[in-house]
Amino acid sequence: MRYFCTAFIILSLPLPFTACKKQFTGLSFHANEIFWVTNNGADMPVRVMGNTSSKVIILIIHGGPGDGSFDYEDARTERLREKYAVAFWDQRNSGASAGNNNLRTLSLSQMINDLEVVVKVLKVRYDGADIFLCAHSYGGLLSAGYLVKDSNQGTVKGWIDIDGAHDYPLTNALSRKMLIDTAQSEIFKNHYVLEWQLILDYCASHDPLSSYKVSSQVETYAHQAEYYMGIQQNYSLSLAEDPFDGLANYYNLNYSSAGIDFLESLESLSYSDQLYKIETPTLLLWGQFDFVVPPAVGENAMANLGSSYKKMALCPHSGHHPMETDTDLVEDEIISFIENFK
């Protein structure tokens, strides 16, 4: 029995020592820390990595909805983390966010409220640090909703929008148009003829604005189109992410009635007519071959934004994920933007 107790104690000993980096210990050049924000039934992790001493924080607003922020963790933000701190926030029902019965609260307005709280916590925790929102894809809709609401834009120094879908109906329509136009030219060039013909036939006969099902199918074709255009794709799962979390979130969004209702509710959302309210400096980064959220959506944002400084840069080797395929260009643009407005 004595040996048995000894074995148990030895097995338990390493546990307390695994949390040595978790606590906030002040500003650092090489921070790697986590904190959580709990808001209306969802507990959302925010992992902060990089140079918090810079007092500049880039808050990642990931896409999806339902993906995780840790997808942006590795080389895609390496240089940014040397100069600034990068905060990886998992939205509710995404990534490693947890909670009990919280799916009923899933809505864009709730997520905007979550973002308000996360920004407020970052300000408190990092003593008034400069915050730049860095949104991707669905994050573009979420961050646009945040910025046009009340006086929220006063809390951040800048908005970096990477292939952001601030207008879903426009995105759907332009995605279909880009697929049809490209399919015709690629078939003419004899590239992936069968594949492009399938896309052309479907897009020509289906309007993504007619139903969520059609819109989803067009999005699937839009991702495939990147491959046919020779865009390098890297969808490897981040090692920091628990695949079982992803499984639960994927089921929730795509197979539960609350999740499907949420996704369907996004299809009609547009902030195009409110972008004029945004006066925050804005950097738009777009993959030239993004069929999911085409560059024309970015041009729409450029035309409507009320910002005194707004710039759009096209990434020539990229589809929907320029931070993966044009990492250097994306980081250079972000660093230059932040240096101007921090």
Residues in the site for another protein, rule: CB under 8 A?
Answer: 1, 3-4, 7-8, 11-12, 15, 18-19, 21-24, 33-39, 42-43, 45, 47, 93, 96-104, 117, 120-121, 124-125, 240, 242-245, 247-249, 251-252, 256, 258
Distance between CA 220 and CA 244 in Å, rounded?
23
Cα dihedral 304, 161, 167, 197, rounded to 10, equals 120
What ranges in 189-317 are assigned the alpha helix state H?
193-205, 212-228, 243-255, 257-266, 295-304
Angle in degrees, CA 224, 89, 324, rounded to 5: 35
Query: Could you tell me the smallest distance in angstroms from the CB atom of residue 65 to another protein?
Result: 13
Rounded CA separation 138/168 (Å): 9
Written as six digits, the tokens of 104 are 């009923």
Nearest distance in Å: CB 44, another protein: 10
Residue 57 DSSP label: E
In whole angstroms, the minimum distance from the beta carbon of 4 to another protein comes to: 5
Task: Tell the smallest beta-carbon distance from residue 171 to another protein (Å).
Answer: 27
Measured from the CB atom, is 8 or 188 closer to another protein?
A: 8
In the complex with another protein, which residue's Cβ is closer, 8 or 227? Answer: 8
Give the whole-angstrom CA distance, residue 234 versus residue 325: 9
Nearer to another protein, 126 or 337 (CB): 126
Nearest to 168 by CA among 294, 32, 23: 294
Select 121 or 302, whichever has its Cβ closest to another protein.
Answer: 121
- Residue 103 CB, shortest distance to another protein, in Å, is 3
Nearer to another protein, 48 or 283 (CB): 48
Give whichever of 24 and 212 is closer to another protein, judged by the CB atom. 24
CB 242 to another protein: min, Å? 5
